[in-house]
Structure formats: C-alpha cells, structure tokens
Amino acid sequence: MTRTFDGSVGWAALRPTFADRLGPQTLEALDDAVAFATQRHGEQRRPAGEPYVEHLLEALQVLVDAVGERDPDTLRAAVLHDVVEDTPTTIDEVRERFGDRVAELVGWVTKSGDRAQYLARLRDAPDAAIAVKLADRLSNVQRLRTHPRPEKRASYYRETVATIVPLAAGRPWFQQWYSEWQAGHADLDG
C-alpha cells in the first residue's frame, strides 16, 4: 500500500517533526515561505474542499520525510510551487522575497500556456524542480478517488502515468511510490 501524506495537521504541528533533520535556518526559511503561501492562497480550497495550504504542506512533507531533501531552496519552492500559478503573485515577487534559485524552481513548475507543452518541458527541468513536481503531483493523486468529478479522476490518472511517472525514473523512492500508486489505480484507465 502506498504511503499517504497529510498536510491537515498544519505547519505548527509539522515543523517540530522536521527539527531533527532540518537546521534552524532552514526551518526559519520555511516559516517565511509557509506564511507567504498561506497569506497568498488565502481561502482557496482544493477540489475535495480542503484548505489549499494542506496540499503545499504535503508536497513539503514528501520531500523531507520520504526522499530526505534538505536543500532549503528546494523545500521553499515546494511550499511556493503554486503561488504564481494560482494567485496574483508574480515570479518577480517570489524572486525578490526568496531569491533567484527559488524563483527559478517555482518557474519550472508553474503552468503557463498549453498544458501539454508545459508537461513536456518538465523533462528538461533541473533535478530539484522535478523533485518538487513529483511531490506536488503525489499530493494531488494520493487521494485521487476523493476527487468530486469521476471523469477528472480518469483523465488525471492517464496524464500522470503518461507525463509524470516517467519523471520518477532514476529516483528510487518516487519510482516505487508511483509504481504502487499506478497499480492501485489501474482501474481508472478505462
């Protein structure tokens, strides 16, 4: 059975669980990123109704708890990965507040224009951006069966298998997780 991640506990509960693996400076950097993302995403909700920030915390949890990511820029990018795509925030605001590298990673995972072109472009992304994307999609699909629209479940499953699962190649933890997930959701490919 594939492991699931739960951002509903909130940052105040997650933060101390990371303290033994992330230094104080990284935790403080994440405090700032979480506060910024929470403020910018405001009252946004996911399709099943949960607060949007839970998704961002799940992506962060995947990187810290599952794959052992420690790079503060990658971790902040995970928290901020949808702020340009889903709020009025610009990439320049991200760059000004969090630096060039975080802005670059957020830029790689921000959909703009044609969805198919965006997904194809990810193949050329830096490793850190691919890790953020894999964590992002993992959060999106780990509870795919709870999506309120059955037709979206099937199309999202097929898109994930076609465009995201190949990105997991060479990344053992992600490769294993997505393999188990794919097998457990194969009935959606009908």
In the chain, where are the structural domains located? 7-188
For residues 84 and 40, what is the distance between their CA atoms, to the nearest angstrom? 9
**What is the b/e burial string over 42-59, where b = at least 16 CB atoms within 10 angstroms of the residue's CB?**
eeeebeeeebbbbbbbbb
Region 149-155: mean pLDDT is 91
Residue type present at position 52: Y
Per-residue pLDDT tens digits for 156-180: 999 999 999 999 999 999 999 999 9
Per-residue pLDDT tens digits for 90-136: 999 999 999 999 999 999 999 988 988 999 999 999 999 999 999 99
Q: How far is residue 100 CA from its own chain's centroid?
A: 19
Instruction: Indicate the pLDDT class of residue 82, thresholds 50, 70 and 90.
Output: very high
Contact 2/181 with Cβ under 8 angstroms? yes
Closest CA to 69 of 173, 165, 148: 173
CATH superfamily of 7-188: Hypothetical protein af1432 (1.10.3210.10)
How many C-beta atoms surround the C-beta of residue 175 within 10 A?
Answer: 15
Which residues are known catalytic residues?
85-86
Full-model pTM: 0.96
3 state SS of 45: strand
Please, is 119 exposed, middle or buried when counting C-beta atoms within 10 Å of its C-beta (0-12, 13-18, 19+)?
middle
Write out the E strands in the chain.
none
